[in-house]
Amino acid sequence: MKHGYVISDLHLFTRRSNAGEYAPAMHDAAAEADFFVLNGDIVDFRWSVHADTAATIQAILDWLEALISPHPHCRFFYVMGNHDGCQPLADALQRFAETTSNFDWNDSHLRIGNTLFLHGDLPLENRDGDICKRRLGEAENSRHHLQHQIYSALVALRMHVLATRLGNTRQCARCILDNLRQYEPDLADGLTDVYFGHVHRTLRDFAYDGVRFHNTGASVRGVDCRVLRVRT
């Protein structure tokens, strides 16, 4: 694989997502790429506007088909995050992969050469050291109408933007790298670049202890988002 692109945290089918604005850039990238990584929280079951899990899954499969089918030369990878990491979607992605030759998925991470892709929630939250195996359960059901109204009000007040400003880039890099070295030394060995999501902050070429860290941000209103070309 020569070169690729990555994006995370589209939060499709929620009231705060503006992922449609980035569709042209994603198609332009895929048109010239060898691979394209969807790096977690691509869909958001918790706040989906669709009626139930089945409807949300059908919507993401339709979205994937529309993204992938025009680019048969490009290999697409779906890495799960905390908002889309569930067994019903895993089952659907597996069926999709069996009928789509240029698509694959993983519940926690992907390594290509010396580059690691992971959503970031597992090492950042350090769930008992199990940082590269997501515990898949049922999807969290879509919220009730009143909860969606409250959610929309918080988005209008830009409270979701405040959350992206919390935390520290260096702390994130240290936490991810330390946990990789402790719990997944084979993945950490020879690593030069880590692409992660979850924190909704754009980041490019942040160097920490010999490894570069990158984040595409999030396609939610008021937050920066970028389709990043992958260093290889």
* Amino acid identity at 13: F
- Cα distance between residue 23 and residue 28, in whole Å: 9
pLDDT at 129: 84
Domain that residue 130 falls in:
4-229
What is the Cα–Cα distance from 232 to 125, expressed in whole angstroms?
27
Count: domains in the chain: 1
Cα–Cα distance for residue pair 83/52, rounded to 1 Å: 15
Instruction: Give the integer Cα–Cα distance in Å for 156 and 163.
Output: 14
Rounded to the nearest 5°, which phi and psi values hold at 196? -135, 170
Is-contact 154 101, C-beta < 8 A? no
Q: Are strands 193-196 and 211-216 parallel, antiparallel or unpaired?
A: parallel
Q: What CATH number does the domain containing 179 carry?
A: 3.60.21
Residue 110, both tokens: 């992907």
Task: Give residue 170's pLDDT.
Answer: 95
* pLDDT by residue, tens only, the chain of 232 residues: 589 999 999 999 999 999 999 999 999 999 999 999 999 999 999 999 999 999 999 999 999 999 999 999 999 999 999 999 999 999 999 999 999 999 999 999 999 999 999 999 999 998 778 899 999 999 987 655 445 444 444 444 444 444 444 458 999 999 999 999 999 999 999 999 999 999 999 999 999 999 999 999 999 988 999 999 997 7
Confirm if 66 and 58 have CB atoms less than 8 A apart.
Answer: no
